[in-house]
Amino acid sequence: MANDFAFEMAASAVRFGAGVTREVGVDLAEMGLTNVLVITDPILRGLAPVQTVVESLEASRIPFVIYDRVRIEPSDESFLDAIAFGQQHPFDAIVAVGGGSVIDTAKAVNLYTTYPPAEFLDYVNPPIGKGLPVPGPLKPLMAIPTTAGTGSETTGVSIFDLSKMHAKTGIASRRLKPTLGYLDPDNTRTMPPEVAASSGLDILSHAIESFTAMPFTGRPLPERPALRPAYQGSNPISDIWSLQALRMVSQFLVRAVDDPSDDEARANMLLAASYAGVGFGNAGVHLPHGMSYPVSGRVKDYRASGYAADHPMVPHGISVILNAPAVFRFTAPSTPERHLLAAEALGVDVSRAKGEDAGRILADRITWFMQRLKTPNGLAALGYSSSDIPALVEGTLPQHRVTKLSPRPAGPEELAQLFEDSMIAW
């Protein structure tokens, strides 16, 4: 089969500025929308970002109803609960106020209430689901992030835990992209330092993964243009966004975690999340994310500090970054120059570096951030051991949407070794 020769840039609409949350009511009124579903989580329900949205909608005289039961690290059950609420309260637009869990839940509600499938897994990525295309346009979705990490306000991806599989999976379509993302630095003031650290490390891995992903010319040519995946492989446009996101992470992540009152650092991390989102939303991510899904899904007792979840939970950024050093040591031989460029964007002097050292150099820099931000020291700190590796590998293998973008193929044996190498981080 011939390889692809083209990539498609799906643009993301965002509005940046302190206080832009107050503009959402006027925007919806000018679009002629009259019945809004506000989606958030139980903690944010009582905090300033949601209150600002409520005041904006009331000022524009737009009727609304609030769903505030989003689960942090959502599951198929929590998606179905939100979808059922959306079906009971007809709406013509959604406002999502929260982190990636909230925005991803809103995307699912938009899709499943607009085009209800015969089975829940019909839209879910293959081979776990059927991967059916989204039939047509969705309702307007305004995304107001309150964390600086997932970049979900810029992507057409919705991720959740599939309970029966004990691993994350998702839905991917350009039609899922929010209509507009409101990047309001005021909304990240409520973010605990542990959340700022985890979400910032997610940005870091997003950007490296999209920059080092298999090039778009490595994919098989689709039968028709509409079948090109949202995650296309590294390409010249995504590269620009990914590298700039890394430069911003290098400059502002530690500052934003150390001092929540550092407005410049928080604002730039919010921008970096969207920059990385534009990058990976078009290029894709690979092994660190693919491996993170069973790490999150099979957690037994671990509870992260700084998170108000009422269940054992590994924050997404932590589940991703713990695998990253081992992965990039493994993938560096495929494209050492790209791995060195990523390390350089993160602040490393690579002027005298040798290609054979690229993996170690990049992994060491990632580990420096992990140590500086006090992340758990490897998968063992989450309660995993070598006896869990077969199940972790089993949960990674079906994640074709991302694993097949690795610049170096990884089968069961390679994945097992990567998980073993990730048990202790330093």
Q: Give the residue-averaged pLDDT of 299-313.
A: 86
For residue range 375-393, what is the model confidence (pLDDT) as tens digits? 999 999 999 999 999 999 9
Q: What residue has token string 């307007």?
A: 140
For residue range 316-360, what is the model confidence (pLDDT) as tens digits? 999 999 999 999 999 999 999 999 999 999 999 999 999 999 999
- Please report the pLDDT score of residue 166 as a whole number: 86
The conformational region for residue 305 under phi > 0 = left, psi -120 to 50 = alpha, else beta, is beta
Q: What residue has token string 């959604």?
A: 94
Residues 6+ apart with CB under 8 A from 155: 12, 176, 177, 230, 277, 280, 281
| Cis preceding linkage at 127, omega within 30 | yes
What does the domain layout of the chain look like in residue ranges? Answer: 19-183, 193-421
- Please report the pLDDT score of residue 393 as a whole number: 97
Q: Domain spanning 19-183 has what CATH number?
A: 3.40.50.1970
Q: What is the pTM of this model?
A: 0.94
| Helix (H) / strand (E) containing 162 | strand 157-162
Identify which of 46, 68, 66, 69 has the alpha carbon closest to the alpha carbon of residue 57. 66
Task: Read off the pLDDT band of 191 (50, 70, 90).
Answer: confident
CA atoms within 13 A on the CB side of 39: 34
| Helix (H) / strand (E) containing 167 | strand 167-172
Thinking of the domain 193-421, which architecture would CATH place it in?
Up-down Bundle (1.20)
For residue range 238-285, what is the model confidence (pLDDT) as tens digits? 999 999 999 999 999 999 999 999 999 999 999 999 999 999 999 999
**In the predicted model, what is the mean pLDDT of the chain?**
95
